[in-house]
A = this chain, B = another copy of it.
Amino acid sequence: MSKRIVSALQIGSSPEGTTATIEKILSYESQIKESGTSLVVIPEATVGGYPIGSNFGAYVGYRTPRGRGDFKRYFKQSIKIGNDPECKEIKTLEGLSKRTGASLVVGCIERDSYTLYCTMVFIDPQLGYIGKHRKLQPTASERLIWGQGDGSTLTVVDSKVGKLGGAICWENTLPLLRHSMYAKGVQVWCAPTVEDMPMWETIMKNIAFEGRLFVVSAVQYVPSATEMGYGVPIEGSDNERILPGLESSDEPCLKGGSIIVDPFGKVLAGPLRGQEGLLVANIDLDLIIEGKYDLDVVGHYSRGDVFQLTVNEKSTDIHFV
């Protein structure tokens, strides 16, 4: 049977920090179970936070001490990723995956030595943590706070809903990255993001159509700072925001827009805007076969004789032998 249920959990980081964010994710446990979903995609940077609107005190030519302090506080909300027992947030998420029977794809801020990465983590109900993908190219001000992933985490994993892969936020616009992922046989494209502009729907539909696969994009929803009671953040006070960047405003910080699309570009669910929630859709993997009959950009439709793509998957880490 090729029919499955997939979902995007539209949620936002807690301004209280990572511990509170993890609790918030766990609060969806019964809803996930009831939905019967086999996959939950959680937005970019949910665990660790997306410091919307901060410039981390960076100007061309200098940085402010307050910006450095912002970075330090942000750094401390990031997590370590791996199978080590010290990766306790991963352990907690593994528990959720096991109890619900759903694969999780979770947007996290990863700490590796002193560099942060915007990472999506793949967690399997049986196997636990099975891999990760680091954003290759942070966008604009993100380059101030996140490192660049290298080719070693173009991860694709198996799951009950087929092969999972994808990209984070604006790296979804990279044609060569997408082509690489298509070539690895991705069937359900996971796109955690914080991007809430209307154009996002276009980009997601295009990937579904071009790649002939299902797209599940989870977008953060974060209410306005006012609504969250963060009207007057004062550094050092009890009311101190943990995530830098939440300015007082009546507008939502991040509006959401999670969406699920089929291989012909047809929207199956969403876009969900202006609220938290679990967005669910039924998918039929056989539809991919039908789509590829028309168009297979990494198969009968490609022109490998003209376009030769080489993907360097070697880690750029220093190599101790």
- Distance between A129 CB and nearest chain B CB, rounded to angstroms: 21
- Distance between A260 CB and nearest chain B CB, rounded to angstroms: 16
A59-B53, A145-B60 known; A202-B206 Cβ under 8 A: yes
Stretch of A35-43, A67-75, A99-107 with 4 or more beta carbons under 8 angstroms from chain B? A67-75
- Distance between A243 CB and nearest chain B CB, rounded to angstroms: 10
Among candidates B55, B137, B302, B309, residue contacting A308 with C-beta atoms closer than 8 Å: B309
Determine if A1 is an interface residue (Cβ-Cβ < 8 Å).
no
A interface residues, how many (CB within 8 angstroms): 99
| Docked-complex contact B72 and A304, CB < 8 angstroms | no
Residues 160-199 of A at the B interface (beta carbon under 8 Å): 170, 173-180, 182-183, 185, 194, 199
How distant is the Cα of A319 from the Cα of B159 in the complex, in angstroms?
A: 24
Integer count of this chain's copies in the complex: 6
Among candidates B113, B140, B194, residue contacting A58 with C-beta atoms closer than 8 Å: B140
Determine if A82 is an interface residue (Cβ-Cβ < 8 Å).
no
Among candidates B199, B298, B312, B317, residue contacting A113 with C-beta atoms closer than 8 Å: B298
A141-B144, A289-B71 known; A303-B183 Cβ under 8 A: no
Determine if A150 is an interface residue (Cβ-Cβ < 8 Å).
yes
| Docked-complex contact B63 and A54, CB < 8 angstroms | no
| Docked-complex contact A312 and B305, CB < 8 angstroms | yes
Residues from chain B with a CB closer than 8 A to the CB of A58 are 55, 140-141
| Docked-complex contact A309 and B319, CB < 8 angstroms | yes
| Docked-complex contact B303 and A174, CB < 8 angstroms | yes
How distant is the Cα of A209 from the Cα of B173 in the complex, in angstroms?
A: 8
Residues from chain B with a CB closer than 8 A to the CB of A245 are 59-61
Residues 45-94 of A at the B interface (beta carbon under 8 Å): 50-56, 58-63, 67-69, 71-72, 75-76
Among candidates B52, B175, B300, residue contacting A175 with C-beta atoms closer than 8 Å: B175
Residues from chain B with a CB closer than 8 A to the CB of A182 are 175
Determine if A311 is an interface residue (Cβ-Cβ < 8 Å).
yes
Residues from chain B with a CB closer than 8 A to the CB of A300 are 115-116, 146-148
How distant is the Cα of A312 from the Cα of B58 in the complex, in angstroms?
A: 31
Residues from chain B with a CB closer than 8 A to the CB of A312 are 305-308, 321
How distant is the Cα of A175 from the Cα of B178 in the complex, in angstroms?
A: 8
Determine if A123 is an interface residue (Cβ-Cβ < 8 Å).
no
- Of A137, A139, A309, chain B has the most CB atoms within 10 Å of the CB of A309
9 A-B contacts (beta carbon < 8 Å): A67-B293, A115-B292, A115-B299, A116-B300, A144-B293, A298-B318, A303-B316, A308-B309, A313-B320
Q: Rank and list the top 8 A-B pairs by shortest CB-CB distance, nearest first.
A: A304-B316, A115-B299, A305-B305, A114-B292, A175-B175, A147-B300, A176-B307, A143-B143
